Amino acid sequence: MMRQYELVERVLRYDPDADEALLNRAYVYAMRAHGNQTRASGDPYFSHPLEVAAILTDLKLDDATIAVALLHDTIEDTEATRAEIDKLFGHEIGKLVEGLTKLKKLDLITSKARQGENLRKLLLAIADDVRVLLVKLADRLHNMRTLGAMRTDKQERIAQETMEIYAPLAGRIGMQDMRGELEELCFEILHPEPAKVIKGRLEEIRAKNGAVTNLIEQELSERLHAAGIDATVTGREKRPYSIFAKMQRKQ
């Protein structure tokens, strides 16, 4: 589990003016509030908000958002109150934490026929501040990464909800890497056999053609450089779920 100073250092690397005292207070408060709570995996519950905060540091979000990530489950899952959060961390952070608590309580129906309604509910809930959505998406991403400890039926329900609601939302706000990871995690749960077959085939192709691809990239880079063009040539491997979705559309 990431230590307090490690989280603060991660934020300071991209934001030297970040409020260290705020981050330290949020870390200690959330850790104490969650106390001996554990997750389904048996891990300390505090490991979850800490990982959510870490995901958001990768996106270089501001110190207030990182603090909210640490605190995001305190009102719902501990004895913490909005008034106490406001007093210790300020009205802005209190409002964001409460927004996440309300978002969790939305009646999200994972039927494809109701997908538009679900999206509208979510968007309305986070309309005041997009940071609520960013924390929620990071929360869902970590939950998807750690679904293995849950019953199969619960894994499938959460994966279906994620595929229909949260992955598209991530894409809509330009977070394509997060959307891609969410889709891949859902794909492995909802369609394990096709996922296994496609991944295996991609590994075969990578082993067979990897060297050729590297040579092509190198030659293109050299020709561009010789022509006085400053450019970087890279390849992008299609994701397994993207391949599966394309195959489904063509059937």
Torsion sign over Cα 110, 111, 117, 120: positive
Q: Give the separation between CA 124 and CA 232, rounded to whole angstroms.
A: 41
Q: Give the separation between CA 70 and CA 135, rounded to whole angstroms.
A: 10
Strand partners for 44: 38
Q: Which residues are designated catalytic?
A: 76-77
How many residues can be counted in the chain? 251
**How far is residue 130 from each of residues 75, 133, 166, 191, 220, measured CA to CA in Å?**
20, 5, 14, 32, 41
Cα within 13 Å of Cα(69), Cβ side: 34
